[in-house]
């Protein structure tokens, strides 16, 4: 039944940005005077071909704007779409449309805006799109489109200003001397195949503000003409290519403060000072060298992100950070920096992420860092820092989510103040310290909580481009030792709650409070001098994927409560003084014998050392009791499978 009754003369209907549900094909059949229909950002469903059929019956000569973006509309785009010849704007992005883009779309000669981004469209883009001479905006990104894009796809698009073909499987095949009929303002061609040469047709585009040609198989040098055309840009992304050569040493200046991303290339040489006049500068994973002094010549800076990770930049950090008060992210990992950390880093009051892993910094962490109240991530691993681990980390930086001080020259005990880090997800103090483990671990509430996990650790901030302020964000990443291998986590970083104190000089027993950290995914206390027994309630750490207690002096039996940790994929109890039988009838028999090796008094499968009959009988009785509550429980192994268990745990609250 049509709900619009006597409103057949309605010309404009705007129901966007609501919470509407239902099938779009059940309405609108009587609204034959509609010129504009806005239904975007709802929860509407229905078959698009049927909806087009309804519109074609009475609105095909009047309808100028159709906006259905961000709904759940499905089906193919029918050939009959071309019959709605009056359309000037068609916005269908963020739906579930499938199939090909019909060639009949070229009949919509009045169309100025075509947005099909974020669907499941496949096949080739019809060349008839090149006949739509009024098109100003084309967004076909994030589909499954394939095939070759020729010059004929743009033959009559002289008015085109916005082009997004990103995240498809498209090949751009243009002659080197092609002169496009358009002057683009926005060029988004990420993940299209354009290389190996730098696209010469870009030389004709004089007015672009945004350029993204990342991951496009370019292995050329950046031509000199490129920099002159980029002066007025606010976004330049050439990352994830094989671009080589050096930056120019010219004194060019950007008109605004652009977001620049040249990461994951083969660029060499020094970093020119003109790049520092940007709002975001990502030069990570290149071969850049020289010093970082290019930052010191700036009197005022809009820079919010600076990432120099994995280059060959060296020398001491200059003590000139005071003017970088807008900096939110500073990444210096994997370079050749040495000397002490300058105290003026404490003037970075907006800083949320500080990473300088794998350098040769010495001395203590400067106490001025306690001024950086917004810090959420500190990764200082693999340096030569010394002194006591400062207690102010726990009191003055309450927002810390990741604290990694692994492999330095710190000494002394773990400061009790670290137990105030109620938001910490990852705490890694390996290869540093001595003393006993603190008993206040249950105060680490983010590690206690096993219900609320997030996939990513995302930072949101405002960035001033010089011609406007935009909201920006980035997802943090962290490098952790998992199953003895150094691995980087980003898309699942929020799930990897870990507590690592391996390779220290820790003594005493493992505090019983450890079992309160029910959100832990990884616990590594290996290579210490810990004594006592494994807590019989260790099974309460039911989200553990990795447990390493190896190379200590732990004695007693292996608790049967380990059965409760269904997702345990990595276990190492070797080189201890454990005794008795390995509990039978659980996933423990699936582990490699090396997980239990060098425990002289331990017996039973998977070890070759068998227990005597009396012990084996006792083992069966114990196992029977231990399995009563978990009979038929699913035993899974491997990180990503068990990650699902953690997610399901967090969903239980919403059932």
pLDDT band at 651 (very low <50, low <70, confident <90, very high): very low
Q: How far apart are CA 208 and CA 235, in angstroms?
A: 9
**Inside any domain, residue 270:** no
pLDDT band at 297 (very low <50, low <70, confident <90, very high): confident
The pLDDT assigned to 645 comes to 41
Element (DSSP H or E) covering residue 616 = helix 613-626
Q: What is the mean pLDDT of residues 387-399?
A: 95
Cis peptide before 592 (omega within 30 of 0): no
Q: How far apart are CA 501 and CA 524, in angstroms?
A: 6
Q: Which residues of 452-481 are buried (b: 16+ CB within 10 A; e: fewer)?
A: ebeebbebebebebeeeeeebebebbbbbb
Give the 3-state secondary structure of residue 246: strand
- Mean pLDDT rounded to a whole number for the chain: 89
Using CB atoms within 10 Å of the CB of residue 132, give its burial: 0 to 12 exposed, 13 to 18 middle, 19+ buried: buried
**Tens-place pLDDT, residues 204-225:** 999 999 999 999 999 999 999 9
Q: What percent of the chain has pLDDT over 70?
A: 91
- Please tell me the least confidently modeled range out of 161-165, 384-388, 472-476, 541-545: 472-476
How far are the Cα atoms of 237, 287, 415 from residue 217, in angstroms, in the given order? Answer: 13, 18, 50
Using CB atoms within 10 Å of the CB of residue 177, give its burial: 0 to 12 exposed, 13 to 18 middle, 19+ buried: exposed
pLDDT at 374 over 60: yes
User: Considering Cα of 452, then 458, then 462, then 468, what sign does the dihedral take?
Assistant: negative
pLDDT band at 255 (very low <50, low <70, confident <90, very high): very high
Counted domains in the chain = 1
In terms of DSSP bridges, do strands 522-524 and 505-509 run parallel, antiparallel, or are they unpaired?
A: unpaired
**Inside any domain, residue 526:** no
The pLDDT assigned to 141 comes to 98
Yes or no: say if 346 and 366 are a contact pair by the CB < 8 Å rule.
yes
**Inside any domain, residue 47:** yes
SS (H, E, C) 219-239: CCECCCHHHHHCCCCCEEECC
**Inside any domain, residue 621:** no
pLDDT at 187 over 50: yes
Q: What is the mean pLDDT of residues 497-523?
A: 95
Domain residue limits at 105: 1-123
pLDDT at 462 over 50: yes
What is the full DSSP assignment across 404-431?
A: E--SSEEESPPPGGGGG-TT-SEEE-TT
pLDDT at 167 over 70: yes
**Inside any domain, residue 600:** no
pLDDT band at 563 (very low <50, low <70, confident <90, very high): confident
Q: How far apart are CA 568 and CA 566, in angstroms?
A: 6
Q: How far apart are CA 240 and CA 210, in angstroms?
A: 17
**Inside any domain, residue 24:** yes
533 vs 495: which has the higher pLDDT: 533
Yes or no: say if 212 and 282 are a contact pair by the CB < 8 Å rule.
no
463 vs 540: which has the higher pLDDT: 540
Residues of the chain by 3-state class (helix, strand, coil), percent to 5: 20, 25, 55
The pLDDT assigned to 5 comes to 54
Q: How far apart are CA 464 and CA 59, in angstroms?
A: 44
Strand partners, 149: 172
Q: How far apart are CA 369 and CA 393, in angstroms?
A: 9
**Inside any domain, residue 226:** no
pLDDT band at 289 (very low <50, low <70, confident <90, very high): very high
- Please tell me the least confidently modeled range out of 133-147, 489-503, 638-652: 638-652
654 vs 303: which has the higher pLDDT: 303
**Inside any domain, residue 86:** yes
CA angle 491–493–498, rounded 5-degree value: 160
CATH of the domain at 67: 3.80.10.10
Q: How far apart are CA 381 and CA 379, in angstroms?
A: 6
């Amino acid at each position: 039944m049509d709900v619009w009754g006597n409103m057949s003369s309605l010309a404009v209907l705007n129901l966007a940005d609501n919470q509407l549900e239902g099938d779009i094909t059940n309405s609108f059949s009587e609204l034959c005077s509609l010129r504009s229909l806005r239904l975007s950002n709802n929860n509407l469903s229905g078959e698009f071909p049927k909806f087009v059929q309804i519109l074609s019956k009475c609105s095909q000569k009047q309808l100028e704007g159709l906006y259905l973006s961000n709904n759940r509309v499905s089906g193919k785009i029918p050939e009959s779409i071309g019959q709605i010849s009056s359309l000037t704007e068609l916005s269908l992005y963020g739906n579930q449309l499938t199939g090909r883009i019909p060639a009949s779309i070229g009949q919509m000669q009045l169309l100025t805006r075509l947005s099909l981004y974020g669907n499941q469209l496949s096949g080739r883009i019809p060349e008839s799109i090149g006949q739509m001479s009024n098109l100003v905006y084309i967004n076909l990104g994030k589909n499954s489109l394939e095939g070759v894009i020729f010059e004929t796809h743009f033959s009559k698009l002289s008015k085109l200003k916005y082009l997004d073909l990103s995240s498809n499987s498209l090949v751009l095949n243009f002659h080197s001397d092609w002169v496009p009929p358009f002057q683009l303002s926005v060029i988004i061609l990420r993940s299209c195949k354009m290389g190996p040469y730098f696209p010469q047709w870009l030389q004709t585009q004089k007015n672009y503000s945004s350029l993204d040609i990342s991951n496009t198989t370019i292995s050329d040098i950046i031509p000199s003409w490129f920099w002159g055309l980029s002066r007025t840009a606010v976004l330049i992304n050439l990352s994830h290519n094989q671009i080589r050569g050096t930056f120019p040493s010219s004194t060019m200046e950007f008109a605004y403060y652009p977001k620049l991303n040249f990461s994951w290339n083969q660029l060499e040489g020094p970093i020119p000072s003109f790049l520092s006049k940007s709002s975001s500068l990502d030069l990570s994973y290149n071969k850049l060298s020289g010093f970082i002094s290019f930052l010191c010549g700036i009197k005022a800076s809009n820079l919010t992100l600076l990432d120099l990770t994995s280059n060959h930049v060296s020398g001491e950090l200059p003590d000139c950070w005071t003017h970088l008060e807008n900096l939110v992210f500073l990444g210096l990992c994997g370079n050749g920096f040495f000397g002490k950390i300058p105290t003026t880093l404490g003037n970075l009051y907006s800083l949320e992420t500080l990473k300088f892993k794998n350098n040769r910094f010495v001395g203590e962490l400067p106490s001025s860092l306690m001024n950086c109240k917004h810090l959420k991530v500190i990764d200082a691993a693999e340096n030569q820092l010394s002194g006591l681990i400062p207690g102010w980390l726990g009191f003055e930086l309450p927002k810390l989510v990741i604290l990694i001080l692994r492999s330095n020259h710190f000494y002394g005990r773990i400061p009790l103040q670290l137990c105030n880090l109620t938001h910490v997800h990852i705490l890694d103090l390996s290869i540093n310290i001595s003393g006993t483990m603190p008993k206040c671990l249950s105060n680490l509430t983010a590690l206690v909580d096993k219900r609320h996990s997030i996939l990513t650790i995302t930072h949101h901030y405002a960035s001033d481009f010089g011609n406007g302020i935009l909201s920006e964000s980035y997802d943090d990443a962290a490098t952790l030792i998992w199953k003895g291998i150094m691995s980087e986590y980003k898309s699942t970083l929020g799930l990897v709650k870990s507590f690592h104190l391996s390779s220290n000089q820790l003594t005493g027993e493992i505090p019983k409070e450890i079992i309160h950290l029910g959100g832990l995914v990884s616990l590594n206390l290996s290579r210490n001098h810990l004594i006592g027994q494994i807590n019989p309630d260790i099974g309460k750490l039911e989200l553990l994927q990795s447990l390493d207690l190896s190379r200590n002096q732990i004695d007693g039996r292996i608790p049967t409560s380990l059965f409760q940790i269904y997702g345990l994929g990595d276990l190492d109890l070797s080189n201890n003084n454990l005794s008795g039988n390995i509990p039978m009838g659980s996933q423990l028999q699936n582990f490699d014998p090396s997980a239990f090796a060098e425990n002289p008094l331990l017996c039973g499968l998977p070890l070759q050392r068998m227990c005597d009959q009396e012990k084996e009988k006792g083992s069966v009785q114990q196992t029977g009791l231990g399995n009563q509550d978990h009979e038929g429980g699913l035993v899974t192994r491997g990180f990503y499978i068990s990650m699902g268990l953690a997610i399901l745990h967090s969903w239980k609250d919403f059932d």
